[in-house]
Amino acid sequence: MINLEVPKKHRVLIDQAHQVAMNMLRPISRKYDQAEHAYPKELDMLAAMIDGLSDSGAAEGAGASGVRREEKADEGGVKNGSNMASAMSIAEMCWGDTGLLLSMPRQGLGNSAIASVANDEQLERFAGTWAAMAITEPGTGSDSANIKTTAVLDGDEYVLNGEKIFVTSGERADSVVVWATLDKSLGRAAIKSFVVRRDNPGMKVERLEHKLGIRASDTAVITFTDCRVPASDLLGSPEIDVKQGFAGAMATFDNTRPLVAAMAVGCARAALDLTRDLLERAGVVVDYDRPATLQSAAAARFLQLEADWEAAHLLTLQAAWMADNRKPNSTEASMAKAKAGRMGSDVTLSCVELCGTLGYSETELLEKWSRDSKILDIFEGTQQIQQLIVARRILGLSSAELK
């Protein structure tokens, strides 16, 4: 049974992440929001700390240990492992700054794909790489199964051709995990992921996008023109199993969606903490021991936001805990992502409204958090797609039956 208390073995990690967020990320948050596309050099000093935590077993990069479908849960007990540790520490880091968290060296979303799909040899070979993840294409946004980038085997190499957009850390990362199809006629089952290194011929960063939020993070458009990739860099098995369908690729999302949910949980928590302080300075005290109906309108609204946050927080912990215990968590991962993504946008924008001019101006970070949080309801599968996935799972319908 899941225990909702912070596991004792993770408390030091969580405390360290909070200190980093408060003392290192918050002070430079506004600086890199205004200096879009400038690399936050201050993050380099954190790399050794993160590596040290990974070596200790407390954390294993942004992707944690991955949702590896072939593994079974340990008999005779439950486990609070790397997925739980990553989710909780990511929430703390995003309490500091979401864009800076997404800019952390060797903590790219592509690392989650490697952790989830790679075989043992690849896990060892790609250890230490900083991997971005390239899924979205022009005209192929939420429907990942409709990927048009192709990968054709030529001797002992694959040749990739296509274009990817909205690639987080696409310019800064050492490598990019690229989703491509081996055979369009076979549909979802033929989609595989490849680790494309920065020096692979044929890969080119075309431009960086200007964005509403997470401006500290670079978001790239990347093209692949006869890009040659060693066959050994196809993650997992090259065999196309039409019975398995999209399951191999979806294992990546089972891993990353709880982490994105954790980002929303952390960013919203920051907004709530600051809003409570600002309300108290204005003479509005939130009393957790009294019914909301007996308090001021502002305090009652704040309590509603707290309850919304708590629901998203618990769903996120559940999805991470299930991954650690090798339980199928596709439904729960989508539930956490859907709830937390919507909650993050609602809570941060509501906090802006509650704080009036202080919320809307750059005097405080509330307006920035409301901008940053919006992407967390979009990338790694939009709000609408998550609702579709959950509905299909609950109703037992296929993607063809429920669109």
The residue ranges of DSSP E strands in 201-356, in sequence order, are: 203-208, 219-230
Above 60 in pLDDT, residue 281? yes
pLDDT value for 254? 86
Percent pLDDT > 90 in the chain is 70
pTM: 0.92
**CATH fold for the domain made of 8-125:** Butyryl-Coa Dehydrogenase, subunit A; domain 1 (1.10.540)
Q: Which of 55-59, 61-65, 121-125, 386-390 comes out lowest in average pLDDT?
A: 61-65
| 206: three-class secondary structure by DSSP | strand
Structure tokens that stand for 321 in this block:
């805990």
- The domain segmentation of the chain, as residue ranges, is 8-125, 131-233, 247-395
pLDDT value for 204? 97
- CATH number for the domain formed by residue range(s) 247-395: 1.20.140.10
Q: CATH top-level class for 131-233?
A: mainly beta
Q: Give the whole-angstrom CA distance, residue 333 versus residue 331.
A: 5
- Report, as an integer, the average pLDDT of 107-116: 86
The residue whose two tokens read 């990069």 is: 61
State which of 110-119, 135-144, 318-327, 333-342 shows the largest mean pLDDT.
333-342
User: pLDDT-derived band of residue 289, with 50, 70 and 90 as boundaries?
Assistant: very high
Q: Give the whole-angstrom CA distance, residue 10 versus residue 83.
A: 11
Mean pLDDT computed over every residue of the chain? 90
Above 50 in pLDDT, residue 61? no
pLDDT in tens, 75-93: 556 777 888 888 999 999 9
Those residues whose C-beta lies under 8 Å from the C-beta of residue 191, and which sit 6 or more positions away, are: 144, 145, 147, 179, 180, 181, 182, 246, 249
The residue whose two tokens read 């690392």 is: 111
Mind telling me the catalytic residues? Answer: 380
Those residues whose C-beta lies under 8 Å from the C-beta of residue 361, and which sit 6 or more positions away, are: 367
Structure tokens that stand for 370 in this block:
């409301």
User: pLDDT-derived band of residue 10, with 50, 70 and 90 as boundaries?
Assistant: confident
